[in-house]
Amino acid sequence: MTTDKPFFRFNPNAFEKGRAFEQSSDQCDVCKKPAVWRHTLGVYAVLEPEICARCIFDGTVAAFLENDSFAFHDIEVDEIDPELYTELLQRTPGIATFNPFTWPVLDGMPLAFIGYGDDLDVMSDLRAQKEIAKVFGELGDKVLLGAPCPYALVFREIDGERYIVEVNYD
């Protein structure tokens, strides 16, 4: 029995408002049941079906699309275990960004996307703030600690404390 609202470890906040899902009674094209949580972001494939959170978690979308190389993300990833790669690209809901980016990996493990640099949670997270200030400072773009920075994509280790910030200008 799959929950309507499964936990996605690489995108743990995917159900927050304005992220990857909205509540919907529309039918999911994959499982033919009411979506409950409907994925609102794109699928990088020929078809653009309605997809529910359950089907993303189950990994049934690739078979439905008859496409082993579709993805919910327009990203680059360093070489990782093929199972992790499939989980990240095909079983993790998308994140809205202006441009393609590199999904960060440490010690062979993708990090979890925790939010954008203008999310309140991120703005109140001092470690995240320091990393944002450092990364943008290296680009010559001064960001004050605690200031909203919508161009920052903030990632944190699933089982660790290290952060990586990707810059995504519009």
Positions that interact with Zn ion (CB under 5 A): 28, 30-31, 52, 55
CB of 54 to Zn ion, least distance (A): 5
CB of 121 to Zn ion, least distance (A): 28
CA pair distance 93, 154, nearest whole angstrom: 16
Q: For 125, left (φ over 0), alpha (ψ -120 to 50), or beta? A: beta
Residue closer to Zn ion, measured from CB, 28 or 143: 28
Residue closer to Zn ion, measured from CB, 55 or 143: 55
Residue closer to Zn ion, measured from CB, 58 or 157: 58
Residue closer to Zn ion, measured from CB, 5 or 164: 5
Residue closer to Zn ion, measured from CB, 10 or 37: 37
Write the DSSP string, the chain: ---SS---TTSTTTTSTTSSEEEEEEEPTTT-SEEEEEE-S--BSS-----BHHHHHHT-HHHHHT-TT-BS--EEE-S--HHHHHHHHHSS-----SS-EEEPEETTEEPEEEEEETSHHHHT-HHHHHHHHHHHHHTT----TTS-EEEEEEEE-TTS--EEEEE---
Q: How far is CA 54 from the centre of its chain?
A: 16
